[in-house]
A = this chain, B = another copy of it.
Amino acid sequence: MPHTIRERKPLLTRVRRIKGQLAALEVALKEGSDCSAVLQQIAAVRGAVSGLMNHVMEGHIRDHLLSPERTEAERAHDLEPLLAALRSYMR
């Protein structure tokens, strides 16, 4: 079973938490909140998104690259999206 299905519940919890943070940010902007609070809220969203990416990347590596059930061709195929995501962090 792919990890994004096995881990669906904790992953959805993370995504919904980030949606909640963004909803709060939307209210803050509508209400003209102090800019300092807006900066802090965006930094918190960024941290939560990094946590989500880290969670999915680790699952991808364990399930798609390490698992003995995967053929060499399958592993090579699954490597590319990981490298693309890594590059987006290492610019």
A contacts, CB < 8 Å to B:
2-5, 8, 11-12, 15-16, 18-19, 22-23, 25-26, 29-30, 32-36, 38-40, 42-43, 45-47, 49-54, 56-66, 68, 72, 75-76, 78-91
Instruction: Give A56 to B41 CA distance when docked, in angstroms.
Output: 11
User: Whose C-beta in chain B lies nearest to the C-beta of A7?
Assistant: B29
- Assuming the A-B contacts A12-B30, A61-B82, A91-B50, are A38 and B75 also in contact, with contact meaning beta carbons closer than 8 angstroms in the complex? no
Given A12-B30, A15-B25: A72 and B66 interface contact (C-beta under 8 Å): yes
A-B contact pairs, 23 of them (CB 8 A): A2-B35, A5-B32, A8-B30, A11-B29, A12-B30, A15-B22, A35-B81, A39-B84, A40-B84, A42-B56, A42-B85, A43-B53, A43-B84, A45-B49, A50-B91, A54-B86, A58-B86, A61-B79, A61-B83, A66-B72, A66-B76, A86-B86, A91-B91
